[in-house]
Amino acid sequence: MGLSSMATIFRSIPRAFRGYLCAPVPLSARKFSQLTDENRTLAGKVAVVTGSTRGIGFAIARRMARDGAHVVISSRKQENVKEAVDILKEEGLSVTGTVCHVGKAEDRQHLVTTALKHSGGIDFLVCVAGVNPLVGSTLAASEQIWDKILDVNVKSPALLLSQVLPHMENRGGGCVVLVSSAVAYLPVPRLGVYNTSKTALLGLCKSLAVELAPKGIRVNCLAPGIIKTDFSLREETMPNMLPELKKVFGVQRLGEPEECAGLVSFLCSSDGSYITGENIVVGGFSPKL
Ligand SMILES: NC(=O)c1ccc[n+]([C@@H]2O[C@H](COP(=O)([O-])OP(=O)(O)OC[C@H]3O[C@@H](n4cnc5c(N)ncnc54)[C@H](O)[C@@H]3O)[C@@H](O)[C@H]2O)c1
């Protein structure tokens, strides 16, 4: 085959998939590249994902973009945002990014404005950003610690959603996924304030699901078990729980961020269109048994 006919074939391939042809890609990426634009489950939609430059948030952003959404990446540091956006663009995915510390109102507004630039609306909001600055006694936690954990983990998703809401309503509906944790059901010792914040998210999910149902907006919660990320591996408490989980629930291994991402994409897709107010654990076990 001549070079010119190869170039013709290359040009006939949608731009978003050309990146896959130019570099060696893992099997999973090849699988996604075989989908056409029309049968991608999130095609034509816009997703905002907080805390998405690494770990679970990055895996969710990548998966939603592979499933056809335009994804707005964000986290606190510009260099991390740039790196994540560059990686996903290199894969031929439709992404933009901006700095957003979810605790700062002006950053949240900027995130919304950035998302609106793509096609004037927002369909999905995935609130992944979360912190845990304390390992220790719950009652010895300072007011500052309480404020930081509750501000970032609980208040920010609600405040960001209030800024996103009019733009979801304009689209005739939407889907929100909050990221809680299995610790909402099985509290980990010495992570009391964090446990409390993640339990509060289950309540937020239920209340918002009821409040927003008339607007066609669904709200669900992903509750990861122990997933291999900087967040969990940095903190010894989490991996050390594996033997306990093995003993009680038969859990064999830690989870991968990608194992959380599929659920989020499913919930946002039309396959999840009759699911709201649910808290779903992705942890290799169910603490609800
Ligand atoms: N990894 C686990 O085992 C696990 C288990 C249960 C729940 N979670 C939850 O999943 C979420 C993601 O965790 P991860 O393990 O991927 O962590 P991670 O540390 O790998 O990633 C966290 C991301 O959030 C961003 N972030 C942190 N604070 C932020 C803020 N104030 N504003 C904006 N972005 C901020 C970070 O920059 C990063 O991109 C968190 O909410 C965490 O509580 C994680």
- Residue 26 confidence (pLDDT): 41
- Domains (ranges, CATH) in the chain? 37-282 (3.40.50.720)
Q: Where is pLDDT greater, at 22 or 210?
A: 210
Q: What is the mean pLDDT of the chain?
A: 89
Ligand 1, pocket-test mutation among 205, 231, 241, most atoms within 8 A of CB: 231
SS3 141: coil
Report the nearest atom of ligand 1 relative to the CA of 183.
6
Catalytic residues: 194
Ligand 1, pocket-test mutation among 125, 229, 241, 253, most atoms within 8 A of CB: 229
Q: Is 20's pLDDT higher than 90?
A: no
Ligand 1 pocket, residue 128 CB under 6 Å: yes
Q: Output the CA 153–ligand 1 centroid distance in Å.
A: 9
How many helices and strands in the chain, by DSSP H and E? 12, 7
Q: Is 162's pLDDT higher than 60?
A: yes
Ligand 1 pocket, residue 233 CB under 6 Å: no
Q: How far is residue 131's CA from residue 80's CA, in Å, rounded to a whole number?
A: 17
Scored b (16 or more CB within 10 A) or e, 116-154 reads bebeebbbbbbbbbbbbebeeebeebeeebeebbebbbb
Q: Output the CA 234–ligand 1 centroid distance in Å.
A: 12
- Residue 237 confidence (pLDDT): 62
- Residue 266 confidence (pLDDT): 98
